[in-house]
Amino acid sequence: MADDNKNTSKPGTKPGDVFKHFWGEMTKPPKWMKDASKPSSGKGKDDGKKNEAGASTPKKRQPPSWWSWSTSDGVPQKRTPSKKTSRIESAPEPAPAPAPSTSKSNAPNKAKSKSKSSPRTPVGHGKSDLGRDHDDSLSTVHSIIRRHGFSPAVLKAYGLTATKCEPFGPVLRLRTPKGLIALKKTELTPKQVQFLHQSFLYLEERKFTRFAPFLLSTEGLPYVQVGGDMYYATQWVRGQEVDFRSRPQLALTARTLAEFHEASRGFEPKGYAPAMLFDLADRFQDRRDELVLWKKRAKVKSRPDLLDQKFLALVDPYIKQCDEALSILKRPAVRAHLLHEEDDPPLCHLDLTPYNMVYTTNGQICLIDLDFAAFGPRTLDLAHLVRRALQRAEWEEDVMRHVLVNYNAVRLLTVQEYVMLYALLVFPHRFWRISYQHYEIGHDPHHLGYYELAEAEEEQRQAFLKNFGQQVERMRR
């Protein structure tokens, strides 16, 4: 268009020449026709398979988030005042998800965006849940399964015929005649999966069914071994990951967790059982010692990086918080309560991140991914849930009250459990997790932002702990 605006006539040009020039401009083909005839560079022909494979490659399995690093913390981003206010306010209960659209243009986009925001959140049971309505060929399904590091032989071991396959983080969602199936490659051993399967059967006997049961193989086992790899499959749960900022969802989550704890009491596994987790003082002493060790390691570096400098600037107050938490956990009354609860222990989830709890379309909370489940004090799970919710609400006391009211509706907490809950919240879990990830797992440029996020919340966290600690002390008197 820039050429069209230039004055191409020269001084002394004859009138006839001007009309010839005008006629040439009017009959010249448009620019888009010229561009269409140019050869393509080929960059736009990428079908997205490389990106899809990279995004869905299973990541290295981390320890449970109460014990170690959890990806649900996210990368800190700049917050705007409007978003900050809206997230703190009590959110109305979201309506059940509408029926999946059969539109071919919208369905693939929904599935793609869902895999980015919550890769492990199961959604839907209709055909449109897996993008296009038409089925894929068997060779296409097997190709997708191989691309994501799974073996197609697993389908035969389960007696399944998949007509569609879609990756969701470390899980493959399969469309089969038996419905939607979640297939997962796991690092669990056969005896660990058997323990979980037994616990699920016991929970069903106790009328607690808000979890995803295992699918049995053709041999009647809750797992399949192919090529040295372990797999298990469950029914796909319809819903979305829990939003801790929603008071109704938070209330349901607290009540569901309490009912899960109570329903699991009395379970006696046959054979293997993971180690119990009632030695809290010893376990948290190990974490405190690790902070001291990492401090020494950072100090002796000849060229400490920005992460080391940030860690050294923050670590001493957090070590003092460890000491305070340990002094509470070592009290005789607390130890006596732990010994008493060990006689009738509940099963703890131990990985209560939002994407491991599904808010279903019928308004329930479903617990998924119980790979780390073990017997332990129920306050371990409760403290994890409360801490996650408080972090998302900038440590508002109303969040704690909301959780406790609904949890206590199932079974009241004892005074010593309140004391333990306070101690578990005093312990600097977030700072310890970031440091563990940095010094034991591997360097990540996001860790500096995580440290800054922990530092930014500390004033509000301490104000909350001061008030909650005073309330607990009044209960002890």
User: Average pLDDT in the 226-235 region?
Assistant: 95
Residue 17's pLDDT is: 61
Indicate the domain borders of the chain: 117-237, 247-476
pLDDT at residue 283 greater than cutoff 50: yes
Q: Is the pTM of this model over 0.85?
A: no
Confidence class of residue 385 from pLDDT cuts 50, 70 and 90? very high
Report the alpha-carbon angle 446-88-124, nearest 5.
75
The mean pLDDT value of the chain amounts to 81
In a 3-state reduction of DSSP, which class is residue 374?
A: strand
C-alpha distances out from residue 50 to 148, 204, 378, 388, Å? 11, 42, 43, 34
pLDDT in tens, 211-227: 999 999 999 999 999 99
| Residue 63 burial class via C-beta count within 10 angstroms: exposed 0-12, middle 13-18, buried 19 and up | middle
pLDDT at residue 428 greater than cutoff 60: yes
Confidence class of residue 62 from pLDDT cuts 50, 70 and 90? low
Residue 295: CA atoms inside 13 Å, Cβ hemisphere, count?
16
Q: What is the DSSP letter of 444?
A: -
Q: Chain-centre distance of CA 326, in angstroms?
A: 29
Secondary structure element (H or E) that encloses residue 277, with its range: none
Structure tokens, 437: 């990830």
How many Cβ atoms sit within 10 Å of the Cβ of residue 111? 20
Q: Evaluate whether 117-237 and 247-476 have a shared fold.
A: no
Topology of 117-237 in CATH?
Phosphorylase Kinase; domain 1 (3.30.200)
Residue 85's pLDDT is: 36
Confidence class of residue 477 from pLDDT cuts 50, 70 and 90? confident
Signed CA dihedral, 15, 20, 25, 27: sign only: positive
Residue 139's pLDDT is: 85
Signed CA dihedral, 60, 284, 286, 463: sign only: positive
- Looking at residue 81, its amino acid is P
Contact status, residue 346 vs residue 375, Cβ threshold 8 Å: yes
- Looking at residue 318, its amino acid is Y
Residue 137's pLDDT is: 83
The neighbouring-strand residues paired with 234 are 182, 214
Per DSSP, the residues of 162-223 read -SEEEEETTEEEEEETTEEEEEEEE---HHHHHHHHHHHHHHHHTT---B-PBPP-TTS-S-
| Pairing between β-strand 224-226 and β-strand 229-235 as defined by DSSP bridges | antiparallel
The backbone region for 159, taken as left when phi is positive above 0, alpha when psi lies in -120 to 50, beta otherwise, is left
Secondary structure element (H or E) that encloses residue 3, with its range: none
d(CA 250, CA 464): 19
Q: Chain-centre distance of CA 41, in angstroms?
A: 40
The neighbouring-strand residues paired with 239 are 360
- Looking at residue 110, its amino acid is K
Sheet of 357-360, strand order: 239-241, 357-360, 365-367
Contact status, residue 272 vs residue 371, Cβ threshold 8 Å: no
CA-wise closest residue to 244 among 384, 447, 147: 384
Higher-confidence residue: 152 or 135? 152
Q: Which residues fall within 8 angstroms of residue 244, CB to CB, at 6 or more apart? A: 250, 253, 354, 388, 389, 392, 393
In a 3-state reduction of DSSP, which class is residue 284?
A: helix
How many Cβ atoms sit within 10 Å of the Cβ of residue 360? 17
pLDDT at residue 113 greater than cutoff 90: no
Confidence class of residue 32 from pLDDT cuts 50, 70 and 90? very low
Residue 443's pLDDT is: 80
Residue 64's pLDDT is: 54
Secondary structure element (H or E) that encloses residue 233, with its range: strand 229-235
Higher-confidence residue: 75 or 380? 380
Q: What is the DSSP letter of 93?
A: P
Contact status, residue 308 vs residue 301, Cβ threshold 8 Å: yes
Higher-confidence residue: 184 or 63? 184
Domain spanning 247-476 has what CATH number?
Answer: 3.90.1200.10
Q: Which of 37-51, 128-142, 183-197, 396-410 has the lowest mean pLDDT?
A: 37-51
Contact status, residue 434 vs residue 69, Cβ threshold 8 Å: yes
Residue 442's pLDDT is: 87
Q: Which of 26-40, 103-117, 306-320 has the lowest mean pLDDT?
A: 103-117
Beta strands in 89-187 (DSSP E): 164-168, 171-176, 179-186
